[in-house]
């Protein structure tokens, strides 16, 4: 094995052929190392020999001393065996005991006589410390002198009371009475120590580190004395030399100063958290903000100022951090259990994140157990969202109840803006609530939270929209089914106000979307945008329902007049003038109080409703009721008058399209039986075959007989089959034409068509 080791060592040195040149240098180096090692070994051997020689000499001296003691003990034993000498020895022992007792008695008497003055002086020193500027966070320069004297007096008291156990009860009572001032001083001094202990962080911060050091020395001394007393009490067979110390151990009262100091410190921590809470009067936000001001400052003071003032076995920084963390956890649980509002939950969640980040950079993670709120800090977000949902529902239900009550009762006129537009307060109040909650969710810096809050806001928006649509439908139905005196006035005005509010809500939604989009990541942008877009469409649809209701109000009033179209009274021309005047009155009112964009769409709906009314009347016209060609002239005059009316509110090119259908229908009325197919074909390509309508139109003409009508319809059916003519992909005004269904059916059809037109509003500039 040695050969292998030597070979391995040589192999490590001589790795390359060039290393042989360095062989002489390696040899000299090894010789120097060997010489150094030999010198160290020789020195070590020399030191060991000297130590061994000294030990042997001391051992010889010890043996000689033991032998001498043994000889003396033998002499004592011989003397003891002698009767006379034994009696003398016993007398000496008794006299010695009497002397000791006399000395102890004199000492006790002297101590008792001087105790009152000493206690008085110590009390004065204690009062001087209490009167120092700052009180318990002041200098307290007399702590050590007071403690030094006090512990001597306490030792004397303990020994005296121990000796008094041999006396009578009356003696013990008298002696205890003598020690009452000392007991009171001890209590006051200990109370002062715990008061100082409770303010260690403040003491360190105020620069009175000397007070902390003096306190720690006292605690250490008393703890050591406690340990010694406990250890001596455990020794069952004390030797004669240990009698005095054994007596002190038996008489000492175990003080547990260290535990009491830690208890005072812990109580102070709890009291500080509690006092800060009371100072905030239960305001969670103020309390959390306050934590930022003093909690982290205390941690810094503990680390920077206190750690160096305590012995290492105290682990004072670890102890303080753990107690602060434990108390903080209990306080935060208390806040959460009290059911705080949404802003407090959100602020608390953000603060816990900051606390975790800050403390991890200052102390070991193991000290921060258990985690705040037992690791369920993320549940605060869920609680926050649930609370937002609850509050939004509560607030909006109350707000909507009030707004719908105003709409239903209509006891006062709606509000009027400086532009003359009708409106209500509800939409502004609602979006203030929405923006407040969204601003709060933004403070969480969590896209998931913002997305959930926006989604819930969208849900509430849809609920409110549905409630408004249902209410408008109910009120419109009541206005048509009940007598006028049974219906509260102002429905038209409030419907305009609601339409304006819905458009304002759409604008608010767009503004909200524009504000949020740059603030969120792509992960949540789709959810937020989709929710707000759906809400935006809902507001536009609700506004469209309102404008449809406004159109319905007009044609409900016109029902007596429109029911006479294509009757003999119609040919006089006054009927159309009445219809136009009524529409003009309504539209002027709408123009004055309705949003301009909504009014434009309302005019389009009015045009469509007017034309649908005429076409429906034509569809229901009795056979031979159209006196040709007078009916054609009257129809053309009606269309001119209506066009002139509508172009006062819309550009002519915007309403020419809808009126084209009346030109085609007029051509069909004017066409002969032989040429009818050509005019019908142009109509069919735009609106579909519409055979039922076409047949009604032919039957209403008084210039065609049944044979002509039958031949024409047969020709039309063949053309439909041959050319495969079908209904157009997009619905036209002809889809709204009803047979003999009455005005109510017509109005429902108008409203249905208006819904299909709602998409046009979403493309507004």
pLDDT above 60: residue 244: no
Q: Please compute the mean of the pLDDT values over residues 515-540 and round it to a whole number.
A: 92
Q: Helix and strand tally (H, E) in the chain?
A: 28, 2
Question: Which structure tokens are listed for 123?
Answer: 């009390």
Domains 381-549 and 558-761 share a fold: yes
Structure confidence by residue, pLDDT tens digits, 193-205: 999 999 998 888 8
Q: How far is CA 125 from CA 119, 192, 197, 198, 656, in A?
A: 10, 12, 19, 21, 108
Domain boundaries, the chain: 90-235+245-255, 260-377, 381-549, 558-761
Helix axes 574-593, 491-516, angle to 10 degrees: 40
pLDDT above 70: residue 14: no
CA dihedral for 479, 483, 484, 488, sign (positive or negative): negative
SS3 assignment for 206-274? HCCHHHHHHHHHHHHHHHHHHHHHHHHHCCCCCCHHHHHHHHHHHHCCCCCHHHHHHHHHHHHHHHHHH
Which CATH fold topology does 381-549 show?
Tetracycline Repressor; domain 2 (1.10.357)
Task: Give 88's pLDDT tier (boundaries 50, 70, 90).
Answer: low
Of 378 and 489, the one with more pLDDT? 489
The CATH code of the domain at 558-761 is 1.10.357.70
Q: Which helix (H) or strand (E) holds 423?
A: strand 422-423
Task: Give 726's pLDDT tier (boundaries 50, 70, 90).
Answer: confident
Partners of 423 in beta bridges = 415
Model pTM above 0.75: no
Structure confidence by residue, pLDDT tens digits, 661-702: 999 999 999 999 889 999 999 999 999 999 999 999 999 999
Do strands 415-416 and 422-423 pair parallel, antiparallel, or not at all (unpaired)? antiparallel
Task: Single out the residue of 505, 482, 494, 503 nearest to residue 435, CA to CA.
Answer: 505
Q: How many CB atoms lie within 10 A of CB 666?
A: 17
Backbone phi and psi for residue 467, each to the nearest 5 degrees, phi listed first: -65, -40
Q: How far is CA 409 from CA 474, 482, 519, in A?
A: 13, 15, 43
* List of residues 6+ apart from 596 with CB closer than 8 A: none
**DSSP conformation letters of 623-662:** TT-B-TTHHHHHHHHHHHHHHHHHTTTS-HHHHHHHHHHH
- What percent of the chain has a predicted confidence (pLDDT) above 90? 41
């Amino acid at each position: 094995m040695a050969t292998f080791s030597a070979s391995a060592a040589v192999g490590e040195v001589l790795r390359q052929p060039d290393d042989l040149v360095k062989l002489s240098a390696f040899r000299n180096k090894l010789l120097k190392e060997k010489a150094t090692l030999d010198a160290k070994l020789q020195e070590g051997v020399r030191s060991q020999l000297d130590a061994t020689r000294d030990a042997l000499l001391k051992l010889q001296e010890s043996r000689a001393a033991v032998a001498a003691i043994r000889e003396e003990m033998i002499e004592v034993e011989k003397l003891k065996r002698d009767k006379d000498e034994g009696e003398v020895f016993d007398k000496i022992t008794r006299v010695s005991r009497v002397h000791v007792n006399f000395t102890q008695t004199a000492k006790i008497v002297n101590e008792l006589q001087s105790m009152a003055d000493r206690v008085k002086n110590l009390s004065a020193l204690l009062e001087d410390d209490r009167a120092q500027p700052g009180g318990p966070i002041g200098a307290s320069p007399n702590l050590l002198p007071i403690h030094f004297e006090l512990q001597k007096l306490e030792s004397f008291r303990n020994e005296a009371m121990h000796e008094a156990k041999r006396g009578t009860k009356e003696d013990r009572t008298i002696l205890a009475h003598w020690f009452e001032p000392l007991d009171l001083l001890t209590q006051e001094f200990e109370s002062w120590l715990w008061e100082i202990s409770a303010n260690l962080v403040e003491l360190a911060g105020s620069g009175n580190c000397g007070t902390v050091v003096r306190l720690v020395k006292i605690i250490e001394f008393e703890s050591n004395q406690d340990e010694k007393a406990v250890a001596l009490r455990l020794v069952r067979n004390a030797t004669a030399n240990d009698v005095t110390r054994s007596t002190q151990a038996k008489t000492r009262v175990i003080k547990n100063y260290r535990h009491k100091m830690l208890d005072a410190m812990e109580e102070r921590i709890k009291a500080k958290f509690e006092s800060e809470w009371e100072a905030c009067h239960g305001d969670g936000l103020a309390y959390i903000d306050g934590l930022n001001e003093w909690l982290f400052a205390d941690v810094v003071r503990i680390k920077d100022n206190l750690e160096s003032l305590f012995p290492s076995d105290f682990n004072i920084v670890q102890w303080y951090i753990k107690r602060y963390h434990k108390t903080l956890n209990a306080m935060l649980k208390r806040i959460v259990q009290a059911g705080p509002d949404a802003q407090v939950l959100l602020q608390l969640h953000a603060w816990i994140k900051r606390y975790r980040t800050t403390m991890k950079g200052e102390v070991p993670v193991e000290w921060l157990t258990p985690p705040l709120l037992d690791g369920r800090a993320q549940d605060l977000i869920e609680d926050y969202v649930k609370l937002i949902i609850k509050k939004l529902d509560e607030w909006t239900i109350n707000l909507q109840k009030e707004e719908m009550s105003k709409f239903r009762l209509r006891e006062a006129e709606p509000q009027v803006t400086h532009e003359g537009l009708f409106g209500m307060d509800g939409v502004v109040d609602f979006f203030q609530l929405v923006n407040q909650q969204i601003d709060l969710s933004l403070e969480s810096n969590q896209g998931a939270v913002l997305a959930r809050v926006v989604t819930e806001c969208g849900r509430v928006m849809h609920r409110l929209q549905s409630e408004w649509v249902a209410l408008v439908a109910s009120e419109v139905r009541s206005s048509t089914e009940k007598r006028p005196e049974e219906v509260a006035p102002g429905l038209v005005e409030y419907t305009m106000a609601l339409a304006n509010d819905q458009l304002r809500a759409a604008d608010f939604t767009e503004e909200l979307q524009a504000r949020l989009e740059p603030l969120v990541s792509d992960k949540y942008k789709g959810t937020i945008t989709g929710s707000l877009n759906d809400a935006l469409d809902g507001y536009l649809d609700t506004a469209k329902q309102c404008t449809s209701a406004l159109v319905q109000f007009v044609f409900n009033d016109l029902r007596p007049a429109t029911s006479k179209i294509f009757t003999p009274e119609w040919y006089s021309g006054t009927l159309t003038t009445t219809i136009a005047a009524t529409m003009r009155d309504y539209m002027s009112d709408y123009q004055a109080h309705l949003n301009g964009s909504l009014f434009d769409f309302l005019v389009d709906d009015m045009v469509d409703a007017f034309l649908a009314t005429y076409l429906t009347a034509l569809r229901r016209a009795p056979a031979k009721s159209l006196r040709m060609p007078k009916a054609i002239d009257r129809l053309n005059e009606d269309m001119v008058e209506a066009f002139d009316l509508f172009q006062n509110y819309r550009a002519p090119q915007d309403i020419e399209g809808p009126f084209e259908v009346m030109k085609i229908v007029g051509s069909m009325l004017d066409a002969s039986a032989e040429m009818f197919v050509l005019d019908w074909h142009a109509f069919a390509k735009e609106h579909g075959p519409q055979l039922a309508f076409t047949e009604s139109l032919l039957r209403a003409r008084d210039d065609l007989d049944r044979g002509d009508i039958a031949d024409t319809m047969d020709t039309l059916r063949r053309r439909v089959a041959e050319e495969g003519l079908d209904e157009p992909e997009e619905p036209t005004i002809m889809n709204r034409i009803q047979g003999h269904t009455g005005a109510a059916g017509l109005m429902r059809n108008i409203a249905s068509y208006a819904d299909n037109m709602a998409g046009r509003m979403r493309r507004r500039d």
